[in-house]
Amino acid sequence: MTAQPEGPVLSARSLTKRFKSGKGKEITALDAVSIDIPRSAVTGLLGPDGAGKTTLIRIATGLLVPDSGSIRVLGIDLAAHPGEVQSRAGYMPQKFGLYEDLTVQENLDLYADLHGIPKEERSKRYPELMHMTGLGRFTDRLAGRLSGGMKQKLGLACTLVRSPDILFLDEPTVGVDPLSRRELWEIVYRLVKEQGLTVLVSTSYLDEAEKCDTTVVLLQGKVLAQGSPSEISSIAEGRSFRISTPETLKPRQLQARLMEAPGVVDATLEGRLVRFVESDPGELDPALLRGLTVTPVRPRFEDAFMTLVRRTEGKERDPSEARVRLSPDQAAGVSSELVVEVRDLVKRFGAFYAVRDVTFQVRRGEIFGLLGPNGAGKSTTFRMLCGLLQATGGTLSVAGVDLHHARASARQRIGYVAQKFSLYGQLSVLENLDFFSGAYGLRGGNKKERMQWALEQFGLAQYSGSPAGQLPGGFKQRLAMACALMHEPEILFLDEPTSGVDPLARREFWHRIGSLADLGVTVIVTTHFMEEAEYCDRMVIMVDGEILAAGSPAEIRGRARMTEDREPTIEDAFISIVEDYRQERRAA
């Protein structure tokens, strides 16, 4: 490696980029962004969807040209010599172009060929990469057969095949299970430590920010803050608290109330405890917390992030709009009545068991979570529950029937939101609502009323005439939910409702789900975001088609190994449970 001049490896000054969107409208993706990225360190780029993260990375790799501003990468002016920068930079986009019909080795060879890596260098480089990513045993496997996490590792290996000086990673951990996420981060750190690599990584997982050396917080194309995670966290100094939930309430109900209270920027669940962040010290009405034990806690990155975001967005996001109100006759509340019963459920595709001996029950008004990494069998279980797939073995009953064999009218009692929000993209919001209410036989005044309800409750009125396909991610999810709720179902199935949705929209979403459950709607939800499990009343953890653990969030948490000084999270518990399971299998 040639000697580098000291100073930042990448420095951008007042970068601005606008995109045309449809009829004469313009979107400012980046608005006078100036950042510096230090050498041999990991810089995290954080922000919700549409903040401008991908645009910034694409400009830094020379794939996009900014409208104004300048950027120097590795001491080279990018505008003048883009080729020189590109030959020394590695870039892994969100959807990395792996060839699914080629094996791991063939993919590597292909990228080595593309970059013109000589044979002798390959024989040195390959073992390193294989060792680092742990893919050595799978070189003959087709890339399409790898799990989500292994695909990302292979993508990383292909990007690293020619030892770049700077590495750009665009949301490398989206859709990757916690275990693989942890491993990916370990790989990145080893590269920084051993090879002095400089890394810029974008992510919308706020907990990953704490793993970075420095962070840049982006929102609506503007840089809100820049600094080390602890510097940023200190913004919320003296404003983060934790309270324990009184016996009379569910933690998520307390959390929902805090979310709605003025002066609170964020509230999250930690078992029986609720953590909240004040917008300014002393802003919160003390009467609200009367009789509750409030403990100040050390702020974390997420607290500061939410403070920054709320400050910028002002009153635009009113959490009270996120509360779903159903018609009063549905306000049933929680009962002990079982609405879903699954016993020894099996689904086999050829010789492959997608679901094996799964048993669980769900009571009316519960939020029930199916957690697990991609490919664990969550969606397959779901599709069987909704009647889309026939079970190979076992029994299942939803609202008293097996939907696969029951009369079509039995499906009137369930609502289903598929993994990618299944809407008619060309049709407007209103036309989608109209179709789905017609599909469930609504008509006349009742139909009009429900459509009005959907527009109001989901804040969709402003978009009522826009094609569903062009809505921002969070609004697509809202519309999908609204369509599934038009006929006031008793049971709501949500398959990965928060995947591809940013942290802010996810908070709103869980807020809505909580109020639905309080009204007696049974909610069954799959997710691979472990922290979201806190919102569930009960859950099961699935891996390789089997249930490894079941219980309330507190019970699941209890299974985490106590190794660190902080309190265990559901994610820690998940990792311990999966590691134990894998060890057992290896031993067997």
Partner 1 sequence: MESLRRIRALIRKELLAVLKDPKSRFIMIGPLVFQTLIFGYAATYDLDRVRYAVHDQDRSNASRQFLAKLDGSGTFARIANLHDQKEIRALIDNKEVLLVVQIGQDFERRLIGGQIADVQVISDGRNSNTAGTALAYIGTIVESFNAEWTRSRGGLPPPAKAVPRSWYNPNLETRWFMVPGLIGMLTLVQMIILTAMSVAREREQGTFDQLLVSPFRPMEIMVGKSVPSILIGLVQSTIVLCIALFWFRIPFQGSFVTLYCGMLLFLIAAVGIGLMVSSAVATMQQALLGGFLIIMPFALLSGLSTPISNMPQAMQYLTLINPLRFAIAIVHRIFLEGAPLRVIAPDLWPLALIALASLSIAVMLFRKRLG
- 507-566 residues near partner 1, rule: CB under 8 A: none
The torsion defined by the Cα of 91, 95, 100 and 102, in degrees rounded to 10, comes to: -10
- 481-500 residues near partner 1, rule: CB under 8 A: 483, 493
388 binds partner 1 (CB under 8 A): yes
- 445-484 residues near partner 1, rule: CB under 8 A: 483
Site for partner 1 (CB under 8 A): which residue of 158, 284, 414, 505?
414
As given in the structure block, the two tokens for residue 39 are 């050498």
Closer Cβ to partner 1, 35 or 403, answer by number: 403
Helix/strand/coil for 536: coil
- Strand 25-37, strand 10-21: pairing: antiparallel
418 binds partner 1 (CB under 8 A): yes
175 binds partner 1 (CB under 8 A): no
Q: How far apart are CA 510 and CA 529, in angstroms?
A: 12
Pair 169, 202: CB distance under 8 Å: yes
CA–CA–CA angle 579, 582, 585 (5° rounding): 150
Site for partner 1 (CB under 8 A): which residue of 79, 292, 439, 562?
439
Bridge partner list, 367: 523
From the list 231-239, 269-277, 339-347, 423-431, the region that binds partner 1 by CB under 8 A is 423-431
Beta strand spans in 87-183 (E): 89-92, 166-170
Pair 306, 277: CB distance under 8 Å: yes
Helix/strand/coil for 16: strand
Among 372, 354, 369, residue whose Cα is nearest residue 175: 372
404 binds partner 1 (CB under 8 A): yes
Site for partner 1 (CB under 8 A): which residue of 248, 320, 336, 409?
409
Q: How far apart are CA 495 and CA 421, in angstroms?
A: 9
436 binds partner 1 (CB under 8 A): yes
From the list 33-41, 283-291, 365-373, 437-445, the region that binds partner 1 by CB under 8 A is 437-445
Pair 467, 424: CB distance under 8 Å: no
| Number of Cβ within a 10 Å radius of residue 447 | 17
From the list 90-98, 435-443, 529-537, 579-587, the region that binds partner 1 by CB under 8 A is 435-443
Site for partner 1 (CB under 8 A): which residue of 126, 301, 360, 440?
440
419 binds partner 1 (CB under 8 A): yes
From the list 59-67, 333-341, 402-410, 575-583, the region that binds partner 1 by CB under 8 A is 402-410
| Helix (H) or strand (E) segment spanning residue 15 | strand 10-21
Q: How far apart are CA 354 and CA 351, in angstroms?
A: 10
Closer Cβ to partner 1, 353 or 424, answer by number: 424
From the list 221-229, 268-276, 285-293, 430-438, the region that binds partner 1 by CB under 8 A is 430-438
Residue count, binding to partner 1 (CB under 8 A)? 35
Closer Cβ to partner 1, 274 or 389, answer by number: 389
Site for partner 1 (CB under 8 A): which residue of 230, 293, 312, 426?
426
Helix/strand/coil for 354: strand
424 binds partner 1 (CB under 8 A): yes
408 binds partner 1 (CB under 8 A): yes
Pair 264, 278: CB distance under 8 Å: yes
Distance in Å, CB of 389 to partner 1, minimum: 7
Distance in Å, CB of 439 to partner 1, minimum: 5
As given in the structure block, the two tokens for residue 271 are 């078992």
Closer Cβ to partner 1, 298 or 420, answer by number: 420
Pair 206, 305: CB distance under 8 Å: yes
Distance in Å, CB of 484 to partner 1, minimum: 8
As given in the structure block, the two tokens for residue 202 are 């974008």
| Number of Cβ within a 10 Å radius of residue 511 | 23
386 binds partner 1 (CB under 8 A): yes
The dihedral region occupied by 400, where left means phi > 0, alpha psi between -120 and 50, and beta the remainder, is left
Site for partner 1 (CB under 8 A): which residue of 153, 411, 450, 538?
411
Site for partner 1 (CB under 8 A): which residue of 138, 416, 463, 535?
416
Which positions lie near partner 1, rule CB under 8 A?
A: 383, 386-390, 403-404, 408-409, 411-412, 414, 416, 418-420, 422-427, 431, 434-441, 443, 483, 493
